[in-house]
Amino acid sequence: MSETETILAVEEISSSYGSGLVLEDVSLTVGKGEVVGLLGRNGAGKTTTLRSITGVIKPRSGKIEFRGQDITALSDHEISNLGISYVVEERAVFPDLTVEENLRMGGIKQPSGIMTIEEIFEWMPRLDERKELKASKLSGGEQQMLAIGRALRGKTELLLLDEPTEGLAPQIVEDVIDAIERIQEQDIPILVVEQNLNTIFEVADRVFILEQGRNVYEGTVAELRDDTETQQQYLGVGTNPDVEAFD
């Protein structure tokens, strides 16, 4: 990270739901233009980390900095206005609005977003073809593309993606990967929680692994690809190179 501007710095945060501690002294960084993967088994604390960054829950301790500003105590609304966009696992589109109306909603607060609706339709022709359909009529993959497109309608300086390929058909997974790569080309850093290890190998620069709410691994994608022991120990991946996902 010494040669890359640090956009996000999470420093030893501990977070909980009620009295139950979920994260303990978790740290990670995301640099300008980087895609960073956050990995771990179910229940490891990955989504809680994203919720802590976005202010949905407040860390008990530790610090979160965005572009050098301490955002630990800010509200989720204030953090969103700084340019941190969060695409949740549930996709959270407006089901009764059309595709085009959903995209317009994404640009209401910050009309000078990084992409216009026309650019998104050019980039994601599948959405253009369905722009008059209500979001509830879209497939899961199309809703995922819509959620990402809506995030890009606003002021996005850091994109957080929670399980963007979960449950998607292989061709739609490729569309999501293409979207991530195009976003990275614009130097927008991305922190992505992902269960598909092959997807992480394809799009990410570095990875962090959590186990029971603690940091257990940090390295480049190349290092993790060669480290089958770590894959087996913390991700439940076997020695079969065709295995795509972990528990």
pLDDT of the residue at 169: 84
Residue 112: pLDDT band (50, 70, 90) is low
| 242 pLDDT above the threshold of 50 | no
| 153 pLDDT above the threshold of 60 | yes
Instruction: Name the amino acid, one letter, at 31.
Output: G
Whole-angstrom CA distances from 83 to 66, 79, 155, 188 are 10, 7, 5, 10
pLDDT of the residue at 107: 66
**pLDDT digit string (tens) for 200-224?**
999 999 999 999 999 999 999 999 9
| 238 pLDDT above the threshold of 60 | no
Strands 35-39 and 190-193: parallel
Sign of CA dihedral 64, 68, 71, 77: negative
DSSP helix/strand/coil, 201 = helix
| Domains of the chain, first to last | 1-74+191-238 (3.40.50.300)
DSSP at 67? T
Instruction: Name the amino acid, one letter, at 219.
Output: G
Per the structure block, which two tokens stand in for 108?
């209401």
| 167 pLDDT above the threshold of 70 | yes
Nearest to 139 by CA among 103, 86, 93, 107: 93
Per the structure block, which two tokens stand in for 11?
């420093």
How far is the C-alpha of 53 from the C-alpha of 50, rounded, in Å? Answer: 5
**pLDDT digit string (tens) for 51-68?**
999 999 999 999 999 999
φ, ψ dihedrals at 178, nearest 5°: -60, -40
Would the pTM of this model clear 0.95, i.e. be above it? no
pLDDT of the residue at 245: 42
